[in-house]
């Protein structure tokens, strides 16, 4: 929604917004754009009299224990008959119409892959618009409208395509609004347990996305994912290019930080860059295959990726104090935690220790749906520290099989204290959360400075 606000502002609209507990980097970006951000969802905001309310999917018709509505502004909008729409619907009608949309879908890697693809198109001179669920360091903003480049009749727009539902009044996945001509299906496993019953339920939504891609469009599909094979088996009307598996159209040979790109077994490009992890290697293949669909040669894409700087909160180094490095990463799903740890382990080797510091904050993790996978996800860490917060399940029990390698804290100060009792020079402290994590990164750096 922050990125959408940035697009509306760039298009010349006066934009205000409200939310609860906004945190960097999005809060910083909105402030820099001069977008007024109001804390909370009070009825007094009706006095702003906007032409249109754009509703995010955090808003619901739920009530507090007192019986009062949790979102009184929404109730007032409905009572007044004021005009409103969803974020994806507004995008579809006011930004994406008439453009060649390149959408990046998948359980993991959407933000990174969308950023890679946007940077490839930018480096190729196509000046794409984009909307990313993070801040790509190459651009410094999460969204822009883009423009028609010289010699190109179509304006390209790269968008992170989320399978989460659209709004309380539209339970379709967001991505069905985007109508892409090029679509990446990066991976697919169970997530969002608060709205999906099982993996088959999500596969159905991905099939709905496939239905929106025209016959002359392209689907870029991870050949390692059985779930995506099942999605395509439900019906496919577009060109398909696979990546990842040895028999795929696009595959990799070599380490994730320095590898050869092959097309059906033939060398077509070489990528040497600052990122690690097999997940980023797969993301790069997907971005390269999608870019080829709009005429960017793989060698040009590979050259662009050599200067790709990643995204804020994706293995972002927040500081190094007395030989101890503190990282910030968005990983919150067990698979994302595992692949992030694997990427860091490949980067630093076996001699140095990794201390994983995480909080199960996503709706799926709060429900405890994947708690049994946590020990598996943390295998590459030497020590793990969990912030339990207000969970309804016992993380101590879920991590019991890890013995003394895992500890649990109920609040941030206690968490910092546990980490500081174990930290050694040369350690890597990997903080993982899809929220602000109570500023734990700064607290750790301060504690290290004072130690």
Annotated domain spans of the chain: 2-82, 89-305, 316-450
Q: What is the pLDDT of residue 283?
A: 95
H helical segments located in 124-257 = 199-211, 226-233
Q: What is the DSSP letter of 294?
A: T
Fold: same for 2-82 and 89-305:
no
The H or E element that residue 171 is part of is: strand 170-173
Q: What is the CATH number of domain 316-450?
A: 3.90.190.20
Encoded tokens for 92 = 């579809």
Task: Tell me the per-residue pLDDT of 145-190, one tens digit each, with 9 for 90 and over.
Answer: 998 666 666 799 999 999 999 999 999 999 999 999 999 999 898 7
* pTM of the predicted structure, to 2 decimals: 0.81
Distance CA 85, CA 10 (A): 19
Q: What is the pLDDT of residue 222?
A: 96
Distance CA 356, CA 364 (A): 20
Distance CA 309, CA 331 (A): 18
Using an 8 Å Cβ cutoff, are 331 and 432 in contact? yes
Three-state DSSP class for 97?
coil
Distance CA 358, CA 374 (A): 11
Using an 8 Å Cβ cutoff, are 76 and 43 in contact? yes
Distance CA 231, CA 187 (A): 11
Q: What is the pLDDT of residue 149?
A: 62
The CATH classification of domain 2-82, taken from the options 3.40.109.10, 3.10.105.10, 3.40.50.720, 3.40.50.11260: 3.40.50.720
CATH class of the domain defined by 89-305 = alpha beta
Longest dimension (CA), the chain: 66
Q: Quick one: how far is CA 410 from the chain centroid?
A: 26
- Shortest CA distance to 127 belongs to which of 98, 158, 97? 158
Encoded tokens for 49 = 């009299």
Residue 261 vs residues 24, 56, 102, 250: alpha-carbon distances, Å = 36, 39, 21, 7
The H or E element that residue 417 is part of is: helix 412-422
- Shortest CA distance to 374 belongs to which of 352, 389, 359, 363? 359
pLDDT beneath 70: ranges in the chain: 148-153, 193
Using an 8 Å Cβ cutoff, are 341 and 381 in contact? yes
Q: What is the pLDDT of residue 190?
A: 77
Q: Quick one: how far is CA 329 from the chain centroid?
A: 11
- How many Cα atoms within 13 Å fall on the side-chain side of residue 424? 6
Q: What is the pLDDT of residue 75?
A: 97
Q: What is the pLDDT of residue 174?
A: 96
- How many Cα atoms within 13 Å fall on the side-chain side of residue 410? 4
Distance CA 386, CA 431 (A): 10
Task: Give the angle 161-165-166 at the CA atoms, nearest 5°.
Answer: 80
Distance CA 96, CA 100 (A): 8
């Amino acid at each position: 929604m922050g990125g959408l606000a940035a697009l509306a502002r760039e298009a010349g609209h006066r934009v205000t917004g409200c939310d609860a507990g906004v945190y960097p980097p999005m809060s910083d970006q909105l402030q820099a754009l001069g977008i007024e951000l109001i804390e909370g969802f009070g009825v007094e905001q009706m006095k702003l009299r906007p032409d249109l309310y754009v509703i995010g999917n955090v808003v619901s018709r739920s009530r507090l224990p007192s019986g009062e509505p949790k979102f009184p502004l929404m109730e007032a909008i409905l009572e007044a008959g004021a005009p409103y729409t969803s974020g994806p619907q507004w995008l579809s009608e006011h930004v994406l119409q008439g453009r060649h949309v390149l959408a990046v879908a998948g359980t993991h890697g959407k933000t990174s892959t969308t950023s890679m693809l946007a940077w490839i198109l930018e480096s190729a001179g196509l000046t794409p618009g984009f909307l990313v669920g993070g801040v790509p360091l190459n651009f410094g903003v999460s969204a822009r409208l883009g423009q028609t480049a010289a010699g190109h009749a179509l304006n390209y727009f790269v968008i992170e395509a989320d399978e989460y539902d659209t709004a309380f009044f539209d339970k379709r996945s967001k991505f069905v609004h985007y109508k892409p001509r090029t679509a990446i299906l990066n991976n697919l496993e169970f997530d969002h347990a608060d709205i999906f019953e099982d993996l088959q339920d999500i596969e159905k939504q991905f099939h709905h996305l496939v239905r929106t891609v025209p016959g002359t469009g392209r689907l870029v599909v991870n050949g390692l994912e059985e779930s995506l094979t099942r999605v395509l088996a439900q019906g496919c009307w577009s060109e398909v290019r696979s990546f990842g598996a040895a028999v795929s159209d696009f595959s990799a040979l070599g380490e994730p930080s320095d590898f050869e790109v092959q097309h059906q077994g033939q060398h077509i490009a070489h990528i040497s860059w600052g990122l690690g992890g097999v997940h980023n290697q797969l993301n790069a293949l997907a971005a390269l295959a999608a870019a080829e669909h709009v005429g960017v040669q793989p060698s040009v894409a590979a050259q662009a990726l050599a200067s790709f700087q990643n995204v804020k909160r994706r293995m972002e180094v927040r500081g190094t104090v007395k030989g101890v490095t503190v990282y910030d990463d968005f990983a919150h799903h067990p698979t994302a935690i595992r692949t992030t740890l694997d990427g860091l382990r490949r980067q630093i080797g076996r001699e140095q220790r990794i201390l994983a510091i995480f909080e199960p904050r996503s709706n799926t993790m709060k429900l405890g749906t994947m708690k049994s996978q946590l020990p598996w996800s943390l295998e590459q860490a030497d020590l793990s520290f969990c912030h339990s917060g207000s969970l309804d399940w016992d993380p101590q029990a879920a991590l019991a099989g890890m013995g003394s390698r895992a500890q649990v804290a109920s609040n941030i100060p206690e968490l910092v204290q546990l980490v500081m009792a174990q930290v050694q020079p040369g350690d890597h402290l990997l903080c993982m959360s899809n929220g602000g994590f109570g500023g734990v990164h700064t607290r750790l750096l301060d504690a290290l400075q004072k130690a």
